[in-house]
Amino acid sequence: MSRLQVMARGAQTDVGALVRRAIDRDLKRQSKAAEDAGPVVSLAELQEDIETAQTWADLRTRLAARGVVLRRRGGGLALVRQADGTTICDSSDLGTSVSGLMRRFGAPKAPPIHGYLDALSAVAPNKG
Protein backbone atom coordinates (compact mmCIF):
# COMPACT_ATOMS: atom_id res chain seq x y z
CA MET A 1 0.00 0.00 0.00
CA SER A 2 1.40 3.41 -0.96
CA ARG A 3 1.77 6.30 1.44
CA LEU A 4 -1.03 8.17 -0.36
CA GLN A 5 -3.34 5.22 0.08
CA VAL A 6 -2.51 5.05 3.79
CA MET A 7 -3.14 8.79 4.17
CA ALA A 8 -6.42 8.55 2.22
CA ARG A 9 -7.59 5.62 4.34
CA GLY A 10 -6.77 7.59 7.53
CA ALA A 11 -8.75 10.56 6.21
CA GLN A 12 -11.61 8.22 5.20
CA THR A 13 -11.46 9.29 1.57
CA ASP A 14 -9.93 8.12 -1.70
CA VAL A 15 -6.53 9.07 -3.10
CA GLY A 16 -8.05 11.34 -5.76
CA ALA A 17 -9.97 13.42 -3.21
CA LEU A 18 -6.88 13.63 -0.99
CA VAL A 19 -4.79 14.95 -3.90
CA ARG A 20 -7.50 17.42 -4.95
CA ARG A 21 -7.68 18.83 -1.40
CA ALA A 22 -3.89 19.16 -1.25
CA ILE A 23 -3.84 20.99 -4.58
CA ASP A 24 -6.70 23.25 -3.47
CA ARG A 25 -4.85 24.15 -0.24
CA ASP A 26 -1.68 24.92 -2.20
CA LEU A 27 -3.53 27.11 -4.71
CA LYS A 28 -5.19 29.05 -1.86
CA ARG A 29 -1.80 29.53 -0.19
CA GLN A 30 -0.26 30.77 -3.47
CA SER A 31 -3.20 33.10 -4.06
CA LYS A 32 -2.84 34.56 -0.55
CA ALA A 33 0.91 35.08 -1.10
CA ALA A 34 0.20 36.86 -4.40
CA GLU A 35 -2.35 39.14 -2.70
CA ASP A 36 0.13 39.98 0.05
CA ALA A 37 2.81 40.83 -2.51
CA GLY A 38 0.56 43.42 -4.16
CA PRO A 39 -0.37 43.98 -7.76
CA VAL A 40 1.78 42.71 -10.59
CA VAL A 41 3.62 45.53 -12.33
CA SER A 42 4.77 45.05 -15.90
CA LEU A 43 8.21 46.14 -17.00
CA ALA A 44 6.57 47.98 -19.91
CA GLU A 45 4.55 50.10 -17.44
CA LEU A 46 7.67 50.91 -15.43
CA GLN A 47 9.61 51.78 -18.57
CA GLU A 48 6.81 54.09 -19.70
CA ASP A 49 6.82 55.79 -16.28
CA ILE A 50 10.57 56.36 -16.53
CA GLU A 51 10.38 57.64 -20.10
CA THR A 52 7.48 60.04 -19.48
CA ALA A 53 8.48 61.41 -16.07
CA GLN A 54 9.55 65.07 -16.17
CA THR A 55 11.31 65.37 -12.78
CA TRP A 56 12.58 63.16 -9.95
CA ALA A 57 9.42 64.00 -8.00
CA ASP A 58 7.25 63.05 -10.98
CA LEU A 59 9.12 59.77 -11.36
CA ARG A 60 8.79 58.95 -7.65
CA THR A 61 5.06 59.75 -7.78
CA ARG A 62 4.49 57.59 -10.87
CA LEU A 63 6.38 54.66 -9.38
CA ALA A 64 4.74 55.03 -5.96
CA ALA A 65 1.32 54.79 -7.63
CA ARG A 66 2.41 51.32 -8.74
CA GLY A 67 3.82 50.42 -5.31
CA VAL A 68 7.43 50.75 -6.52
CA VAL A 69 10.41 52.76 -5.26
CA LEU A 70 13.90 53.42 -6.61
CA ARG A 71 16.83 52.13 -4.56
CA ARG A 72 20.54 52.56 -5.13
CA ARG A 73 22.00 49.18 -6.07
CA GLY A 74 25.67 48.77 -6.92
CA GLY A 75 26.51 51.39 -9.53
CA GLY A 76 22.90 51.88 -10.59
CA LEU A 77 19.31 51.89 -9.48
CA ALA A 78 16.89 49.08 -8.76
CA LEU A 79 13.12 49.25 -8.90
CA VAL A 80 11.85 47.65 -5.71
CA ARG A 81 8.36 46.64 -4.60
CA GLN A 82 7.45 48.89 -1.66
CA ALA A 83 5.35 46.27 0.11
CA ASP A 84 8.05 43.68 0.63
CA GLY A 85 11.35 45.08 -0.68
CA THR A 86 11.53 42.59 -3.54
CA THR A 87 13.66 43.78 -6.46
CA ILE A 88 11.60 43.92 -9.64
CA CYS A 89 14.46 44.84 -11.95
CA ASP A 90 17.46 47.12 -12.36
CA SER A 91 16.96 50.41 -14.16
CA SER A 92 19.46 49.20 -16.77
CA ASP A 93 17.02 46.39 -17.61
CA LEU A 94 14.66 49.16 -18.72
CA GLY A 95 17.31 50.95 -20.75
CA THR A 96 18.09 53.75 -18.29
CA SER A 97 20.88 54.59 -15.88
CA VAL A 98 21.55 56.90 -12.95
CA SER A 99 23.64 59.16 -15.16
CA GLY A 100 20.94 59.23 -17.84
CA LEU A 101 18.29 60.20 -15.31
CA MET A 102 20.57 62.84 -13.81
CA ARG A 103 21.14 64.34 -17.27
CA ARG A 104 17.36 64.56 -17.67
CA PHE A 105 16.36 65.64 -14.16
CA GLY A 106 19.53 66.97 -12.53
CA ALA A 107 20.68 65.77 -9.14
CA PRO A 108 17.77 64.72 -6.94
CA LYS A 109 16.68 67.24 -4.32
CA ALA A 110 16.52 66.24 -0.67
CA PRO A 111 15.29 63.79 0.23
CA PRO A 112 17.20 61.97 -2.48
CA ILE A 113 16.00 58.62 -3.68
CA HIS A 114 15.74 56.99 -0.28
CA GLY A 115 18.98 58.66 0.83
CA TYR A 116 21.22 56.76 -1.55
CA LEU A 117 22.12 59.45 -4.06
CA ASP A 118 23.75 62.00 -1.74
CA ALA A 119 27.16 61.37 -3.25
CA LEU A 120 25.82 62.01 -6.74
CA SER A 121 24.20 65.38 -6.01
CA ALA A 122 27.33 67.31 -6.95
CA VAL A 123 27.41 65.74 -10.42
CA ALA A 124 24.60 67.81 -11.94
CA PRO A 125 22.61 70.93 -10.97
CA ASN A 126 19.14 70.50 -9.48
CA LYS A 127 16.26 70.63 -11.94
CA GLY A 128 13.51 69.17 -9.80
* Average pLDDT taken over every residue of the chain: 79
Question: What residue spans define the domains of the chain?
Answer: 3-37, 43-120
More confident residue, 26 or 39: 26
Sheet containing 76-81, strands listed edge to edge, beginning at the edge strand earlier in sequence:
68-73, 76-81, 87-90
More confident residue, 104 or 30: 104
pLDDT in tens, 98-127: 889 999 998 876 554 444 444 443 343 444
More confident residue, 57 or 74: 57
Q: Which residues contact 77 (CB under 8 A, 6 or more apart)?
A: 70, 71, 90, 91, 97, 98, 101, 113
